[in-house]
Each structure stands twice: as structure tokens, then as C-alpha cells.
């Protein structure tokens, strides 16, 4: 199972995570929460990135990629640990719809 250490916890492929990121709009800044399934970890060291996929409004899949060491990420919270994941990249979730697209 592919995993990486963030702060004091490990995140694994297939985990449902909440990403708290800082968004700056003009002079104001706020924290925006993005929740979805961790489908990809790639790179090494400073270049490590991860991709989170969620099902948005109207059943449209939305993916977002962040650098792991980004200053805009305030906190990564693991909401649910993955069960039995046998792939390092969960790209097959892109072709699924409904409940099967959000369960691993």
C-alpha cells in the first residue's frame, strides 16, 4: 500500500481525507475544506504531490492536486481509512458513477 507521512499521521491511497487549505482573495483570507478520496500520490521529496477526487454538484467528478509541502495547506485530516486497496493509483474510479465511485 502506498502511503506517506503528513505531520503525525500516515495517509494512504483510498483514504477519505479532508484538506483544509488557505484561500486568499484580495486582502481577505479564509480556510476552504475539500473532502474526497485520495487517488494518487506521486513524486519524491519536495516534489511529492497528491490528488483528491470528489463527486461535485450534479454528479460531476472533480479532482484537485496539491504539493504535499504546500504553504496553502493548513491541515490534512483523515476522515476514514481505506479498506483493502490493491492499486497504487485509483484511476478506475473516474469511469464509475453513483455509490461505487465513492467507495473503495
User: Which pLDDT score is estimated for 2?
Assistant: 67
Per-residue pLDDT of 5-40, as tens digits, reads: 776 578 899 999 999 999 999 999 999 999 999 999
Q: Is residue 70 part of a domain?
A: yes
Q: Is residue 100 part of a domain?
A: no
Determine if the pTM surpasses 0.85. Answer: yes
Per-residue pLDDT of 62-83, as tens digits, reads: 999 999 888 999 999 999 998 8
d(CA 93, CA 67): 22
* Of residues 8, 18, 99, 24, the one with CA closest to residue 52: 18
Q: Is residue 78 part of a domain?
A: yes
Number of domains in the chain: 1
3-state secondary structure 36-99: EEEEEEECCHHHCEEEEEEECHHHCEEEEEEECCCCCEEEEEEEECCCCCCCCCCHHHHHCCHH
Residue numbers of the domain that contains 32: 3-93
Per-residue pLDDT of 87-99, as tens digits, reads: 999 999 988 888 8
Amino acid at each position: 500500500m502506498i502511503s506517506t507521512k503528513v505531520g503525525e499521521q500516515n495517509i494512504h491511497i483510498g483514504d477519505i481525507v479532508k484538506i483544509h487549505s488557505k484561500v486568499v482573495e484580495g486582502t481577505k483570507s479564509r480556510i476552504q475544506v475539500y473532502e474526497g478520496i485520495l487517488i494518487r500520490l506521486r513524486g519524491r521529496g519536495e516534489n511529492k504531490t497528491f490528488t483528491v477526487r470528489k463527486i461535485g454538484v450534479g454528479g460531476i467528478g472533480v479532482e484537485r492536486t496539491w504539493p504535499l509541502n504546500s504553504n496553502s495547506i493548513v491541515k490534512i485530516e483523515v476522515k476514514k481509512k481505506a479498506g483493502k486497496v490493491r492499486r497504487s493509483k485509483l484511476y478506475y474510479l473516474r469511469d464509475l458513477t453513483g455509490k461505487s465511485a465513492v467507495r473503495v
